[in-house]
Amino acid sequence: MVPFELTLIEAVTALRNRQLGHQEYVQALLQQIDRLDHLNAWISRDPERLIQQAIALDQASTEQPDNRLLAGIPLALKDNIDTSDLPTSGGTRALLGSRPRRNATVVEQLLQSGGLIAGKTNLHELALGGTNHNAVTGACRNPWNPLRIPGGSSGGSAVAVASRMVPAALGTDTGASVRLPAALCGIVGFRPSTGRYASQGILHLSPTKDTVGPMARSVADVVWLDGVLAQDLPDVPCVSLKGLRLGIPRGDFFQGADPQVLAVIEQVLETLASEGVECVELDVPDLTQHNDATGSSLVMFEMMQSLPAYVGAQGLSMDALLAGVGSPDVGQLLSRQLGHDRVTATVYAAAQVRRQKLQIAYARHFADHRLDALAFPTCLMTAPPVGHDDMVDLHGQQVPAFKTLIRNTDPGSNAGLPGISLPAGLTAEGLPVGLELDGPLGSDRHLLSVAAAIERALPRLPRPPMVYA
């Protein structure tokens, strides 16, 4: 048994059955964290506290087994989720020493279920980007190729899970930020229906769109965490692939993708079809029109309400926050919203109307075609090189980095839909590709059942080369 290779459920079982000691497990993870420090997955940790917690659990387990769902499992948290024992920095200079008075609700839920906090992970500064190239905390690096980005904004959480530093983690997702890094790092990332998980204690951008999301190396582990965070069952019904109906929106979500990405996805679809899945080629009417008028306006307007409230509670002003921003892309976004180019209340109100129309379009689409989910590439491309923050190369053309990275994940986010990214395979270059499944609003448990069935039909990815390098 290699302790750091265990999935979350495997580790829970080994600890509960005393096949593995809590301290032995924690030490194995800490050694992996130290060995792969150059990937820059973490912003703050307290390893000594973690070791002492493990020792206490070992001593207590000699008397009575701890049957809590997450007993003794170290988990990583994106550093925009409040913790009272570690700072919550948002990856920005002005908040590096910020100590929230209380834990976020989702953190309390993890702790009450027996989970331990392994530390706070690196993110795109203030979660305002898709590369995790942070000028304040340093670039986070992909374990499949450290010259490549892990994706953002929850890149540190994805790296920690993919490189076996922890079995699972929490990120946050506004337009892509759990599913994009999950896809680029070869793990599972789940964005629940907006409102499924508690939102208190998050450094929010957009309360309308933001949600915490679990990240792990298997769908079963994500289901386990969903049970804790949604106060639901820790498992989902088993469904058969035969007769499942997947919508394949080629015009809206496949067009313009890297041919290597498409090759992996097409192979997956062929496999699923051979297992009895009905793949229905279609497109969502008016999706682009409604979506383009929704997301950015919602986020920018709400950000200028939520950010001042959060930093004000820490005794800081927006001017102080802006002065400490190190990443040029984030500084430009904030400067525009603090100036004459900010999103107005009128534009925001129009975006809310468009969002409702987008939700209606999706709902009708799922119902009319009797779909279990939509299936498409999570991202149009594999992980681009670190440092390409403004423009990236997509099969020979320079295209805007952020819009390209989030193009496929953003529509579902704007509609508040549940979405999950599964590892679909590797390209010829050895980089992961993600398959996204989006379900109808509120269909989280069924979507997880569908994802688990699809995962069983696909070959597992090998471990990233950095794990044993």
* Cα separation, 77 vs 156, whole angstroms: 9
| Predicted confidence band of residue 66 (pLDDT cuts 50, 70, 90) | confident
With beta carbons less than 8 A apart as the criterion, state whether 145 and 9 touch: no
* Cα separation, 379 vs 257, whole angstroms: 8
Residue 321 pLDDT: 96
Q: What's the rounded mean pLDDT across residues 38-42?
A: 98
Average pLDDT for the chain: 96
Residue 398 pLDDT: 96
| Predicted confidence band of residue 287 (pLDDT cuts 50, 70, 90) | confident
Residue 469 pLDDT: 62
With beta carbons less than 8 A apart as the criterion, state whether 261 and 427 touch: yes
With beta carbons less than 8 A apart as the criterion, state whether 182 and 189 touch: yes
Q: What's the rounded mean pLDDT across residues 275-297?
A: 90
How does DSSP assign 220-247, residue by residue?
A: HHHHHHHHHHTT--S------STT-EEE
| Predicted confidence band of residue 289 (pLDDT cuts 50, 70, 90) | confident
Q: What positions carry a catalytic annotation?
A: 78, 153, 177
Paired tokens of 396: 């020979």
CATH code of domain 3-467: 3.90.1300.10
pLDDT at 65 > cutoff 90? no
Backbone torsion region of residue 126, taken as left when φ is above 0, otherwise alpha when ψ lies between -120 and 50, otherwise beta: left
Paired tokens of 30: 């800490």
Nearest to 189 by CA among 153, 230, 158, 220: 158
Residue 64 pLDDT: 76
Q: Determine the 3-state secondary structure of 421 from DSSP.
A: strand
pTM score above 0.85? yes
pLDDT at 95 > cutoff 70? yes
Taking only the tens place, the pLDDT of each residue in 190-235 is 999 999 999 999 999 999 999 999 999 999 999 999 999 999 999 9
The domain limits of the chain are: 3-467
Taking only the tens place, the pLDDT of each residue in 259-268 is 999 999 999 9
Residue 444 pLDDT: 98
Taking only the tens place, the pLDDT of each residue in 117-143 is 999 999 999 999 999 999 999 999 999
* Cα separation, 93 vs 262, whole angstroms: 39
Paired tokens of 408: 């496929």
Paired tokens of 418: 């549940």
Name 397's bridge partners: 394
Pairing of strands 432-438, 373-377: antiparallel
How does DSSP assign 19-78, residue by residue?
A: SS-HHHHHHHHHHHHHHTGGG--EEE--HHHHHHHHHHHHHHHTTS---STTTT-EEEEE
Q: Determine the 3-state secondary structure of 375 from DSSP.
A: strand
* Cα separation, 33 vs 96, whole angstroms: 21
Q: What angle do CA 166, 171, 175 make, to 5 degrees?
A: 145
* Beta-carbon-side half-sphere exposure of residue 358 (alpha carbons within 13 Å): 23
* Cα separation, 150 vs 160, whole angstroms: 10
Residue 87 pLDDT: 97
Q: What's the rounded mean pLDDT across residues 251-265?
A: 96
Q: 215, exposed or middle or buried, with CB in 10 Å at 0-12, 13-18, 19+?
A: buried
* Cα separation, 334 vs 49, whole angstroms: 37
Q: 39, exposed or middle or buried, with CB in 10 Å at 0-12, 13-18, 19+?
A: buried
Q: What's the rounded mean pLDDT across residues 426-431?
A: 97
CA 21 centroid distance within chain: 29
In the chain, the amino acid numbered 218 is S
Residue 340 pLDDT: 85
The helix, strand and coil proportions of the chain, stated in percent and rounded to the nearest 5, come to 45, 15, 40
DSSP state of 246: E
DSSP state of 121: E
